[in-house]
Amino acid sequence: MLIKSLAAVFLAAILTENYVLSKFLGICPFLGVSKKLNTAVGMSVAVTFVMVISTAVTFPIYTYLLVPHDLGYLQTIVFILIIAGLVQLVEVVLKRYIPSLYKSLGVYLPLITTNCAILGVTMLVLQKVDSTTLYNYTYIHAIVNSLGAGIGFLVAMVMFAGVRQKMENCDIPKSLKGLPITLVAASLTALSFLGFSGFVDKLIPLS
């Protein structure tokens, strides 16, 4: 049952609840860094990495520090603080011990410090912690969810990088060149992800 629900959470985070294409979080890197495939992959790997680590830290802090003291309303500011500090710490550690990974993540790591997709993943998962429903998220679920969200980000970025590379060689009307056509393409890509709605529930029924 646990594995089944974890698989459902993982797939849902990638397909039906894709943080970029259906929740519209992290649009800035989605539009900004998706011009080339290799930068898109680098950014996504960094995002996934930070998402998992920050969820791993913020989830217990919320449940064991903020909620017992009735400070749930502080989650936004506290999470930003923690994520920013964590990213800095990870950067320092990577620079010292794994310089190759530090180099490949490069500029993306500090860039995503206060990325809304990361804040969104850490905060939205808390809404699903509700022991009265079937879809109760535990700590493991939250981590798997953030991993799935990162992979979903990667999927969206890589797909969109492909779309943009195709657009480079298209004869686009002058008034639509640049950002307008990119936004149109982004919305169409997002629309295509609507096709996945209900997909995970059918694939892995939990009841």
Partner 1 sequence: MSDYILPVLISVAVVAGIGLIIGLVLSIASIVMAVPKDEKAEKILNILPGANCGACGFSGCSGYASALSKGEAKVGLCPVGGEKCAKDAALILGVDAGSVEKKVAFVQCRGNCDNTSNKAIYDGIQSCSAASKIGNGVSECIYGCLGFGDCVDACQYGAVSICNGVSVIDSQKCTACSACVKTCPRHIISLVPYKTSAAVTCSNKDKGANTRKVCKVGCIGCKKCEKLCEADAIKVDSFCAYVDMNKCVSCMKCIEGCPQGCITHFMAE
Q: Does 74 bind partner 1 (CB under 8 A)?
A: yes
Rounded to 5°, the CA angle 12-55-153 comes to 45
CB of 41 to partner 1, least distance (A): 17
| 29-37, 79-87, 177-185, 197-205 -> range binding partner 1 (CB under 8 A) | 79-87
- Answer for which of 1, 38, 96, 207 binds partner 1 (CB under 8 A) is 96
Stretch that binds partner 1, among 15-23, 63-71, 145-153, 182-190 (CB under 8 A): 63-71
185: phi then psi, degrees, rounded to nearest 5: -65, -40
Exposed, middle or buried, 146 (CB in 10 Å: 0-12/13-18/19+)? Answer: buried
For residue 132 the two structure tokens come to 């009265």
Asked if 68 is part of the footprint of partner 1 (rule: CB under 8 A), the reply reads no
Contact window for partner 1 (CB under 8 A) among 37-45, 66-74, 109-117, 193-201: 66-74
Distance in angstroms (rounded) separating the CA atoms of residues 87 and 84 = 5
Instruction: By CB under 8 A, tell whether 93 contacts partner 1.
Output: yes
Q: Where are the beta strands (DSSP E) in 52-194?
A: none
82 touches partner 1 (CB under 8 A): yes
**Does residue 169 interact with partner 1 by CB under 8 A?**
yes
92 binds partner 1 (CB under 8 A): yes
Shortest reach from residue 73's CB to partner 1, in Å = 8
Using CB under 8 A, list all residues that contact partner 1. Answer: 65-66, 69, 71, 73-74, 77-78, 81-82, 85, 88-89, 92-93, 95-97, 99, 169
